Structure formats: C-alpha cells, structure tokens
Amino acid sequence: MALAIKMLFNYSASSQSRALWKEFSKESAVLSICQDESTAHTEGLLHDSCPKYTHLPTHVNILPVLHTFVDDMPHLPDAQDSYPAALPARHGGLGRNRTMFLVMPRFTHTLESYLASLGRPPEVQTSCLLLLQLLNGLVHLQEHQVAHRDLKSDNLLLDTSVYPPRLVICDFGCCLADTRQGLKLPLLTDETDRGGNSMLMAPEVSTAESGPGASIDYTKADVWSAGAIAYEMFGERNPFSHGGAESRTYSDKELPTIDRWHTRYLLGEGIGRTYRLLCLALQARKWTMTNSANAIKEYKKRSAQQSSRPKAYETEPVGDAVLATTKPFYW
C-alpha cells in the first residue's frame, strides 16, 4: 500500500509537542486506527488538556490516519513555490519551526482532478456509484455524530486502479466531532467558526443567527453539500461555484435540471428519489440519511444479482433495474 504524508501548516501554535498536539490533534483523534492514542502517550503528551473528540470507527469510504508525529517543518525543493508562507522565518516565511504530520493511504486522484482528466462527463453508472459511495460515507458520519463541514471535490479522493473508482472522504480538520455536543454547535456570537467554505455551506449553517441559546444544527449540512457536488459527478457545473447561485438565498428555479440525464437512463425508485432530491432541488434538509442508506442497500441488493458488466458500457435504458447492468460493487 502506497502511503502519503500530510503536512499541516503551522502559523500560530508553539513548536512544543504539547502545543502542537493540542492545536492539530482533531483529525488524528477522529480518524486514527489506534483508538488508545498510544502514539501520543509514548511521547509523554498529556491529552487531558485536549478536547474530547469522537473517535470514528474505520470505514471503507473514510480515509484513515495510520500514524501521527511532530517534526521540523521541512524545506523541500519546491517549498518556495508550493508553500512559501508556511516556511519558518529563517526561510522567509510566516510559519513556525515545527508542525504535525499525518500518515495516510495514498490515492491517485481527487474527484476534481479525476473529472478533469476524463475530458468528458463520466459514464452514468460510474457517477451513480461515486455518489452512492459518498452517501455511504456520510451515513457513517451521521451514525457517529460527526459532521465534516468542508465537503468539496478536493476533499474526495479516488483510487482509479479499480472499477468503479473507490471514493473516500478526507480532510477532517474542520469537522465537528465533540463528544459533548453532537451535531449541534452553540452559536453565542458571530465569531463562532461555522467551518468549511462559504460556497458549499448549507443555508441553515450560513444563515443561522447568533445569540443566547442559539445553535447550528449540522445534522443535514453535509448531505446538502453532497447534493451540490453531485452535479460535478454527473458532468455538470456546480451550481454554487464562482458566479453561480448564492447558497444563502438561492431558489430551486436557479438550479439546472437533469432532464438530459434521464433521456437514455431511467433510474430506479430508490436511487432516482435520492438523486432527484440531492441534485434537482437540493432538498437535503427534508431528506434523511436513513432514506439515502436505504437507496444504497437497494442498489447493492439489485447489483449483486448481476454476474457481469456489459461490453463497452451499454447505454440502453435499464428501467427499474437501477443500473443493474453494471458490475456488482461491494462496500
């Protein structure tokens, strides 16, 4: 298995190990395959001062953290071009001398780079399977009271060496995973970090008003973002990208229709309902993750009954077979 090392940019935390763990431990605590945090304890670090984050059980559509360590910020050959501001002051940057590193499995593409490399919209079968994997991961997050809060095509990694490409959700640095508050974040002031990027921030998050007793409910925020990303998966422009609709004030009439996708492909009831609600109207706030999970189970059940994939991606209508002519895919 190929590995990748994620280097976190440290602009504010002290270079002491204790300070680095306190500042950057969230992603490791949530995604580490070592539940006892043995790595941290062997270095004599006291995690009592760190927030109590929810540990997420491993899942095929969630990128795990295999190991975590702190070390000096390296000055790599392309440092001045790739991350000049994050370099320490002695190299002309604004960063600190040490930072944290996360060891993870290496994937070949982000969703964004994969779609760009195709030069055309993906096959509808492939797009449906990518969307289902994304929903599968979000079901897992919600079951364990974790909200990603920064879903975008750059934070979805693909292994394209297999068919269908395996999708995993990554970059949990902005996630909400506090064991004490679940998916509701108190919103006392406007200084509260709402997470993520404003372009794909769910309306109930971006429009929430602060005040005594106020809170933001992230229960369906991630699946709203997934609905916007689904447009990209099916070869369309994200309706909320630069110059597009404003997520805070949009109306359903501003969203592209999906009529042309149904000209030659008729999706089954479960997948079709999920797809329409996510993509056509982005009504994710009215759509539970349980419904999405049921659609996934329906697809898996039907696809498992098929024995082979058609030649050259047959494109005849498949009716209620829910794209059953594709090769079975197992999670």
Quick count: other Cβ atoms within 10 Å of Cβ 138?
Answer: 26
Known catalytic residue: 150? Answer: yes
Half-sphere exposure of 230 (CA within 13 A, CB side): 31
Burial of 294 (0-12, 13-18, 19+ CB in 10 A): middle
- Residues shown for the chain: 331
Using omega within 30 degrees of 0 as the cis cutoff, is the peptide bond preceding 310 cis? no
Residue 305, sorted as left (phi over 0), alpha (psi -120 to 50) or beta, turns out to be alpha
3-state secondary structure of 284: helix
- Could you tell me which residues come within 8 angstroms of residue 226 by beta carbon, excluding any fewer than 6 positions away? 131, 134, 135, 138, 151, 278, 284
**Contact at 8 Å (CB) between 84 and 52?**
no
Buried/exposed 235-256: b ≥16 CB within 10 Å, e otherwise: bbebbbeeebbebeeeeeeebb
Closest CA to 187 of 219, 212, 218: 212
Backbone phi, then psi, for 141, in 5-degree steps?
-60, -45
3-state secondary structure of 2: coil
**Contact at 8 Å (CB) between 179 and 150?**
no
DSSP one-letter string for 8-61: PP-SSS-SSHHHHHHHHHHHHHHHBS-TT-HHHHHTT--GGGS--BPPPPP-TT
Of 71, 81, 150, 178, the catalytic one is 150
**Catalytic residue ranges:** 150
